[in-house]
Structure 1
Amino acid sequence: MDLDWIINHHGEERQRYFGAVAPPVLQSSIFTFPDVAAMRAAATREFDAPFYTRGSNPTVHMLRQKLAALEGAEECLVFASGAAAIAAAVIACVAAGDHVVCVQKPYSWTRALLADLLARFGVAHRFVDASDIAEVAAALTPQTRLIVLESPNSLTFEVQDLAAIAALARPRGILTLCDNSHASPLNQSPLALGIDLVAHSATKYLNGHSDVVAGALCGSRALLERVFHGPFMTLGAIPGPHDAALILRGLRTLKLRMQRVAETTPRIAAFLAAHPRVARVWYPHAPENPQRALIARQMRASSGLVSFALKDADAAAIARFCDALQRFLLAVSWGGYESLVCPLVAFLPAGAPLIQQPGRAPPELIRLSIGLEDSDVLIADLQQALAQVGAAP
């Protein structure tokens, strides 16, 4: 099944909906049946069939089919957020007394899930530098049931050797989960490398328009049914049909959007790396990245994230730089059509010192999400803002 077919046609069954080209929004919470026998049969097939929209909705089901095909998965479930998708996957895989190994600098709510929530219920965890396969192996215990990966992660972009970690985990009966939001299904296929479950913040590239919060989880039917009959149905963190329709619309341009940011982002990264006011750049595809060989083997192209730190800058200087930008919007998240800037100092109290914490992203880090604007326009904006870094407030 080719990419263009998946994006434009797969799962839409237009003959069922009057030949409508655009997917219909089935804005219904419940579905009727001609008799008790039919209702009883549907109640046993909620994973696949409309019964109650918390379980299955036709518009959401179209999206599930497309996302599963994009990831090369048997099945997909869609959630109300990426955090919900990751939480449901982890909860479905562990019980009290179990142990989870997780990448060192995960998404903040993945960290909170393990360190704050599940720790209260007897699930142990350990954060490791998973770019070092030996460190992953050393962290495993007889109680380890799951390895949580994020490749690349969303701030400093460390990459893990997915095939090697899958080969380490599978003989031990340990499941693996990879957050693939950064790369998107177009640029990386974790399931093909042996990973068991793949999660996405569909808020990001899959939707691409900054108007939906959603998540997705892809994998085998057996694992997805375990998630469905456990945390998915129990916690009810589902998307509505309108959200699913917006993501279906966003997928139409996924290929074009990813091609655009793959062309533009390297230019932004190269500009920053050469600028005298920039101390460091984090960009997975940079020529000097020591993980470049793994990235070339594991990923097909660049996405639109690049981070950097200013030279000899305190929190006030970082704020002056960000406030001076005119083409980058100051906001969290990433993966939309618009370019964004997100400085980590925004999450510190005003006047707080920039203190490095082991296993955390550097507090001076500034992340850019490159949108669909022309690279020359974005570079000019960065240039004028960098010129103001040293200016008095």
Structure 2
Amino acid sequence: MSLFKRSVVAEISSHAGVVFSTLLIVWLSVLLVRLLGEAANGTIGADVVLGLAAFSSITALPVILSVSLFIAVLTTVTRNFRESEMVVWFASGLSLKDWVRPVLRCAVPVAIVIAVLTLVASPWAYRQIAEYRQRYEQRSDLSKVTAGQFIETEDGARVFFAEDPTKPGDQLGNVIARVIEPDWLTVVSADSARVQTEPNGDRFLVLSQGHRYDLKPGTPEFRMFDFNRYGFRLESKNDAGSIKVAREMAERQLKARPTDQLIGDNTNNSRSQMMWRISLPLAALNLALLAIPLGAVNPRLGRSGDVLIAGLVGLLYMNLINLSRGWIGNGKLSFGLGVWLVHGVFSLLMMYMMWRKLRVKAPKPPKVEARPAAS
């Protein structure tokens, strides 16, 4: 490989590594904040936050890799023009089209990795995410109560807070529970709690040594009880709730379906998901090649305008892919046309821009001013 190709490949790889690590850290930061918020609200368990973060990162890798490759090629080409290194390469007999081979040398392996992720790894990761969430949703109310944390159950009808146990044999220490019923607002406090399972399989959260306060909203009616033992029945999800959860899970499972099942399914939703999985590696190749003419800028002009245009082009590309996926899912666009239409348009745009950059304009003829004839 020539010195030019080695330097281009090395610089693109270096920039891609920096951009990829930066985007991944930003993604993980935002994701962890969201997952910790869900854990604080009781939507997911605190013990599955790291697992969900890992699997969610796998699903985000195809887009992160595509964007990283696009920015890396764009930055490399722009830097060579800004610092006038391209003048040296042009003087050595090279042109802008000689960038295609080293860029493809970096882009093709990345596209292969993206294809593996979208066709194999991402569906598996989505299945693991769905399994984590489904497993937590099927837990009883008690299993969601953890020491030092407020937990909402039954859509906020029950709120629990518990401390660490202080007595042997207890599973929870001091417990405070707020229960909203059709006519009463109840607050229960107890010194300790434990689980008790009846012979018929019913489970109870048994509170020991506590107080119960009942208030009927809008009236002065008030009740107070002291108890030695008080039981909350912890029922599993009812059939209606299970049906609701099943419907929600069915909507999420389209992304989790293996690729071979999508190929054998002729529904519009399956075609749209298959189109998305095929489009991401193609988009990575197209964006990498498109970054070559987008990065060929005039060093005398400002850099912000060119970077902004390149960002808008990349954003438009990904949005059009999403739009095509929606049209395929709704039956407004055929699968074959939807897969190749956007990529074909941007490939033609890339070739047109390369032609514009490579085209050598003929010099303008000098202006000849007419002079009056001598007398």
Which bracket does the TM-score occupy, shorter chain normalised?
under 0.3
**Structure 2 length normalisation: TM-score?**
0.26
Higher relative contact order (CA 8 A, sep 6+): 2
TM-score, normalising length from structure 1? 0.25
Determine which structure has the larger helix proportion and give its number: 2
